[in-house]
């Protein structure tokens, strides 16, 4: 067993750290917080956005673990200058994010928000609208962009709704064929598949290849009743193109957990609009403040996944969740 010194750059509650220690192999030493960073002999750093000075001060570092899914662009750029440091991330929030994707899909497809708001006013007229605003998902086709841990869970949920599930994956190999997916395709097939999508669910990370992947031309290929869900990153979809498609009803509805504008400080959290365009004025949009991955006990779940990586490192085994720096995931 290889002795390992591991530092978590963020401060976690004592009970969370105690729980992590109960899961670890002997010989793994844990420290936590920005004020108590070891001066030497640090082997693994757990941080999302470390600075250059920290990495330079620890030439013995062999691994950086980003404690969430998705790699910040500045971290990718920084790691390019430290080829000796392998990059990993955690998939601990895959289940809650997939659940939120399903919640957004159903809420948007069934027009839950406007129905709720109308009934709060005593207005029953939506019940008698013809045609109804609710989209039947059973028997329809879901197209999922991204087949990572989250995408696979979303695919299972869509299959359970009796939907045909198609998926786009960066690399299509025989191993990519999944029993709960009816077809796996490459990004070259995107334009051919979009017209078949009754529901389009985006689980992609933000990389130079995915930024702006869905623009006005792509959204025009979707059926008019299509429900779009984005739980990946906002900028995968062009902001203006998405707003206009929803405003003009060239697509049916959207459920969005990821955005184009975020608070820059704690002070701005109570007064920052999520986009330059007023999505919040549209009845066919369900808005969520990028909290799909936040759920009860999330830090304990994070520690269980982190322990799996650290124990593999201590045993000199292959560490899960290796990130291809060039690809960004």
* Structure token digits, residue 279: 């999505």
Nearest to 153 by CA among 98, 103, 105: 98
Predicted pLDDT at 55? 96
CA distance 263 to 70: 19
Question: Which sign does the torsion angle of CA 248, 250, 255, 256 carry?
Answer: negative
User: What is the pLDDT averaged over residues 59-80?
Assistant: 93
List, as one string, the DSSP characters of 71-129.
--HHHHHHHTT-TTSEEEE--TTHHHHHHHHHHHHHHHHTTHHHHHHHHHTT--GGGG-
Confidence of residue 175 (pLDDT cuts 50, 70, 90): low
Predicted pLDDT at 176? 62
Cβ neighbours around 274 below 10 Å, total: 19
- What are the backbone angles phi and psi of residue 32, rounded to the nearest 5°? -150, 145
Is 80 exceeded by the pLDDT of residue 171? no
Nearest to 99 by CA among 90, 107, 110, 111: 107
User: What is the pLDDT averaged over residues 36-49?
Assistant: 92
User: What is the pLDDT averaged over residues 24-50?
Assistant: 93
Cβ neighbours around 90 below 10 Å, total: 23
User: What is the pLDDT averaged over residues 266-285?
Assistant: 96
Q: What is the 3-state secondary structure (H, E, C) of 13-44?
A: CHHHHHHHHHHCCCCEEEEECHHHCCCCCCCE
Q: Is 248 buried (19+), middle (13-18) or exposed (0-12) by CB count in 10 A?
A: exposed
Is 80 exceeded by the pLDDT of residue 272? yes
User: What is the pLDDT averaged over residues 29-51?
Assistant: 92
pTM of the model: 0.91
Predicted pLDDT at 104? 98
Per-domain boundaries in the chain = 4-93+296-314, 94-287
User: What is the pLDDT averaged over residues 82-111?
Assistant: 96
Is the model more confident about 285 or about 325? 285
Average pLDDT value over all residues in the chain: 94
Confidence of residue 174 (pLDDT cuts 50, 70, 90): low
Can you say how many angstroms the Cα of residue 119 is from the centroid of all Cα atoms in its chain? 33
pLDDT tens by residue, 183-225: 999 999 999 999 999 999 999 999 889 999 999 999 999 999 9
- Decide if 4-93+296-314 and 94-287 have a common fold: yes
Distances from the Cα of 249 to the Cαs of 145, 202, 212, 253, 278, in angstroms? 22, 19, 21, 8, 15
Predicted pLDDT at 25? 94
CB 97 within 8 A of CB 150: yes
Predicted pLDDT at 35? 84
CB 259 within 8 A of CB 279: no
Distances from the Cα of 286 to the Cαs of 105, 110, 237, 252, 283, in angstroms? 9, 11, 16, 12, 8
CA distance 251 to 147: 24
Nearest to 101 by CA among 136, 150, 172: 150
Is 80 exceeded by the pLDDT of residue 96? yes
User: What is the pLDDT averaged over residues 137-149?
Assistant: 96
Q: Tell me which of 1.20.1600.10, 3.40.50.720, 3.60.20.40, 3.40.50.1700 is the CATH number of domain 4-93+296-314.
A: 3.40.50.720
pLDDT tens by residue, 226-246: 999 999 999 999 999 999 999
What is the 8-class DSSP label of residue 201? E
* Structure token digits, residue 189: 């097939």
Determine what percent of the chain is predicted with pLDDT higher than 90: 84
Predicted pLDDT at 70? 84
> Which residues have a Cβ under 8 Å from the Cβ of 138 and sit 6 or more positions away?
161, 162, 163
Determine what percent of the chain is predicted with pLDDT higher than 70: 98
Is 80 exceeded by the pLDDT of residue 145? yes
Architecture in CATH for domain 94-287: 3-Layer(aba) Sandwich (3.40)
User: What is the pLDDT averaged over residues 266-284?
Assistant: 96
CA Rg value for the chain: 22
């Amino acid at each position: 067993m290889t002795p390992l010194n591991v530092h978590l750059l963020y401060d976690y509650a004592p009970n969370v750290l105690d729980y992590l220690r109960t899961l670890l192999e002997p010989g793994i030493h844990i420290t936590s917080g920005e004020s108590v960073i070891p001066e030497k002999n640090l082997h693994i750093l757990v941080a999302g956005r470390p600075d250059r000075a920290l990495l330079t001060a620890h030439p013995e570092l062999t691994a950086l673990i980003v404690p969430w899914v998705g790699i910040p662009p500045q971290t990718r750029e920084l790691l390019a200058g430290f080829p000796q440091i392998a990059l990993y991330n955690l998939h601990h929030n895959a289940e809650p994010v997939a659940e939120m994707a399903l919640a957004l899909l159903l809420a948007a497809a069934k027009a839950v928000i406007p129905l709720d708001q109308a009934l709060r006013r005593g207005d029953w007229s939506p019940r008698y609208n013809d045609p109804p605003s609710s989209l039947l998902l059973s028997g329809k086709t879901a197209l999922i962009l991204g087949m990572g841990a989250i995408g696979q869970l979303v695919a299972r949920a869509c299959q359970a709704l009796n939907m045909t599930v198609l998926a786009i994956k960066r690399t299509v190999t025989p191993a990519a064929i999944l029993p709960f997916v009816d077809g796996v395709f490459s990004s070259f097939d995107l334009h051919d598949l979009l017209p078949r999508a009754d529901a389009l669910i985006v689980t992609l990370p933000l990389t130079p290849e995915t930024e702006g992947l869905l623009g006005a031309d792509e959204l025009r290929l979707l059926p008019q009743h299509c429900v779009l869900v984005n739980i990946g990153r906002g900028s995968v979809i062009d902001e203006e193109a998405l707003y206009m498609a929803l405003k003009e009803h060239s697509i049916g509805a959207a459920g969005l957990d990821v955005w184009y504008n975020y608070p820059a400080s704690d002070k701005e959290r109570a007064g920052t609009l999520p986009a330059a365009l007023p999505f919040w004025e549209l009845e066919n949009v369900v808005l969520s403040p990028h909290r799909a991955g936040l759920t009860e006990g999330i830090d304990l779940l994070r520690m269980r996944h982190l322990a799996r990586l650290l124990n593999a490192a201590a045993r000199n085994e292959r560490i899960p969740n290796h990130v291809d720096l060039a690809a960004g995931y």
